[in-house]
Structure 1
Amino acid sequence: MLEHGGRLLRAIEHYGIAREDWLDLSSGIAPWSFPIPEIPLRAWARLPETDDGLEQAAAGYYGVSHLLPVAGSQAAIQALPRLRPRGTVGVLSPCYAEHAEGWRRAGHHVLELSEEQLAGQLDHLDVLVVVNPNNPTGRLLPADTLLDWHQRLSRHGGWLLVDEAFMDNTPAHSIAAHSAREGLIVLRSFGKFFGLAGVRLGCVLAEPLLLRALAEELGPWSVSGPTRVLAQACFTDLASQRQQTERCAAASTRLAALLDSAGLTPAGGCDLFQYLRHDQAAAIHDFMARRGILLRLFDHPPSLRFGLPAEDADWQRLAVALDDYRKETP
């Protein structure tokens, strides 16, 4: 299995620091969770049913007519490659590594491409995968660019798969409203914006025919009853959504300024994280971890992703550690 953020238990073992003493900034998940509604016993005791209002609540939230809830967008990332004959798949990189891995495992020929390389390859691809905003760089591609790419791919029956896992904070940039177009697939993640990654929920936005094929591939009851109750409440909680959007934006701006003041100016980011490219990324990661601050380390290129601190004490602790690093580094 590929490496991901959030490996706190492994860090506890490696550095010998107790769980309660860690500040975990390794995942790009909002550090404030939405309120958990009361979940009735029937949600636990009965098999889930798809006419309980979840699909309607999610469709209203995303502004679409058709979607499929799945057990985390990861489930769709692994299943979608099985719905096409083997072909050539471009993945705009660097990005979430599970995309390339999923298509390779299904036997497709995968090309990990930069934006510059993509121009010469687009008309030869069967599928193009884009993460927007990108994880981990935060790069946000214009909707018009993505729709142009989709149009070119659709001429020869190709797919454009856009992973919008970090889009909830900036929905004006989403192409969800166009997802009914043939060959356009949009993935949305529930856990990151709502701060509830443990419930494992995502939604696939696409044309009905493709959604039916994906549902058959995944099988029945892929989303649990308690998750369906919880998610429906979150999708309709407009006040909490506004609050989350505002505090994430403020925290991300504050984090970028804090890193810049420490001489570690971010190369990118979004409202849920900041991204730092640095030749000494591994050394910075270790320096912070020895002080109980866990970051997400990437090797290619050497870089770090900083999640958002939740409380004033967390901000102060990060600021002190960054100041210590600045003082101890020539």
Structure 2
Amino acid sequence: MLEHGGNLRDAMLRFGRDDWLDLSTGINPHWYPAPALPGNAWHRLPEADPELALAAADYYGAPQMLPVAGTQAAIQALPRLRKPSRVTVAAPSYAEHAHHWSEHGHTLTQTPYDELDAAVAHSDVMVVCNPNNPTGASVPAAQLLEWAGQLAARGGWLVVDEAFGDTAQENSVAAHSGRPGLIVLRSVGKFFGLAGIRLGFVAAHPDLLHALADLLGPWTISGPAQHIALAALRDQQWQADTRDQLLAGGKRLRRLLAAHGIQSNGTALFQWWSEPRAETFWQHMAERGIWVRLFKRAARGIRLGLPPDDNGWRRLETALQEWTNKEPT
């Protein structure tokens, strides 16, 4: 199983403290306030509520969407819906994509973002996180649609993971997902801060959505998750306020890092930078009760998300100042 952020139990076991400031995930620290559940929410089998898919299509601007148990469910299932193919995954990016496309007989190539255009001609499937996790890199929507057209012309797919796209809607291609060969993944875990309900959506041509639904089977989304997500997707005032808050928070985090000599990139929800002393920085933060995401392989660096409150910002600033003052070893 691949390593992910949010693994606070590992932090507690390794460093033996319980006052953690968790900045390891890029999840909104101010989650949507879940409404009260109906009395029978835990009793009834979770039939698919058609209103949930309609609300998602309206919020994300897609013609049609399929609710899934987190985008992880789709990431694991999509490679099973194709015969063995030549697959290009933009790199570095969310590791689960490459992990699952490397199975089921597919031939996997991981390609840097600036080389993707040349890779289209040699691919049957291309997978792009937009904006990217962990680096924050993005591809303009027009470029994605051009690639999608080239791939679809020979029966291929472009899979675009927009899990962090809620504050960068200008680059979303969800509105075009009714065409064959374009598949868009969205999540309520990041922007809405509802990672615990395990809910995401897939936008694609109806034929592909039917095939994916058949593969995933019945009762994939719990009743409580459907109820909470429906409220969140319809709450336009909360969405507008939260978008403004996150954009301001992302700018504040980038400025704070820059003030301590760190030139970062990212989104409204996280910042990332290539750090030559990545393990040392991670250790420095962990010793101060701040859990950040360490990347050791192709994307060697650090990613950290937004603190939840003023105390968290102060803790982070103090730790960064101590890092700046520390002599390199």
**Common fold, TM-score beyond 0.5?**
yes
Matches within 5 A, 1:157-196: 157-196=155-194
Matched, 1:9 2:12: no
Of the structure 1 ranges 113-122 and 199-208, higher mean CA displacement relative to structure 2 is found in: 113-122
Task: Measure the CA separation in 1 of the matches of 2:41 and 2:104.
Answer: 35
Task: Measure the CA separation in 1 of the matches of 2:299 and 2:151.
Answer: 29
TM-score by length of 1: 0.97
Whether contact under 8 Å (2:177, 2:183) holds in the other structure is: yes
Per-residue displacement from partner, 1:142-163 (whole Å, max 9, x unpaired)? Answer: 0011001111111211100000
Per-residue displacement from partner, 1:218-269 (whole Å, max 9, x unpaired)? Answer: 0001001100000000000111101110111111100001001111121x10
What SS class does the counterpart of residue 127 from structure 2 fall into? strand
Moved over 3 A (4+): none
Q: Which residue does the alignment assign to 1:252?
A: 250
Q: Which residue does the alignment assign to 1:44?
A: 42
Task: Measure the CA separation in 1 of the matches of 2:23 and 2:182.
Answer: 33
Task: Measure the CA separation in 2 of the matches of 1:119 and 1:142.
Answer: 12
Task: Measure the CA separation in 2 of the matches of 1:48 and 1:59.
Answer: 20
Task: Measure the CA separation in 2 of the matches of 1:285 and 1:324.
Answer: 13
Per-residue displacement from partner, 1:37-68 (whole Å, max 9, x unpaired)? Answer: 11112221111222452111111111122110
Whether contact under 8 Å (1:280, 1:302) holds in the other structure is: no
Matched, 1:203 2:201: yes
Task: Measure the CA separation in 2 of the matches of 1:50 and 1:232.
Answer: 12
Q: Which residue does the alignment assign to 1:295?
A: 292
Task: Measure the CA separation in 2 of the matches of 1:273 and 1:51.
Answer: 33
Task: Measure the CA separation in 2 of the matches of 1:329 and 1:248.
Answer: 34
Task: Measure the CA separation in 1 of the matches of 2:49 and 2:275.
Answer: 50
Match of 2:310 among 307, 312, 321: 312
Per-residue displacement from partner, 1:102-160 (whole Å, max 9, x unpaired)? Answer: 11122211000113433333112110000000000001110011001111111211100
Q: Which residue does the alignment assign to 2:279?
A: 282
- What are structure 1's unaligned runs of at least 5 residues? none
Whether contact under 8 Å (1:282, 1:302) holds in the other structure is: no
What one-letter code is carried by the residue in structure 2 that aligns with 1:179?
Answer: S
Q: Which residue does the alignment assign to 2:211?
A: 213
Q: Which residue does the alignment assign to 1:63?
A: 61
What SS class does the counterpart of residue 148 from structure 2 fall into? helix
What SS class does the counterpart of residue 36 from structure 2 fall into? coil
What SS class does the counterpart of residue 271 from structure 2 fall into? strand
Task: Measure the CA separation in 2 of the matches of 1:275 and 1:297.
Answer: 10
Whether contact under 8 Å (2:141, 2:170) holds in the other structure is: no
Q: Which residue does the alignment assign to 2:83?
A: 85
Deviation at 1:170, TM superposition (A): 1.8
What SS class does the counterpart of residue 238 from structure 2 fall into? helix
What SS class does the counterpart of residue 28 from structure 1 fall into? coil
Task: Measure the CA separation in 1 of the matches of 2:326 and 2:152.
Answer: 54
Whether contact under 8 Å (2:87, 2:123) holds in the other structure is: yes
Task: Measure the CA separation in 1 of the matches of 2:183 and 2:167.
Answer: 20
What one-letter code is carried by the residue in structure 1 that aligns with 2:327?
Answer: T
Aligned residues: 327
Task: Measure the CA separation in 1 of the matches of 2:267 and 2:291.
Answer: 19
Match of 1:269 among 262, 266, 284: 266
- What are structure 2's unaligned runs of at least 5 residues? none
What SS class does the counterpart of residue 47 from structure 2 fall into? coil
Matched, 1:104 2:102: yes
What SS class does the counterpart of residue 98 from structure 2 fall into? helix
Whether contact under 8 Å (2:157, 2:182) holds in the other structure is: yes
Whether contact under 8 Å (1:44, 1:226) holds in the other structure is: yes
What SS class does the counterpart of residue 260 from structure 1 fall into? helix
Task: Measure the CA separation in 2 of the matches of 1:92 and 1:301.
Answer: 12
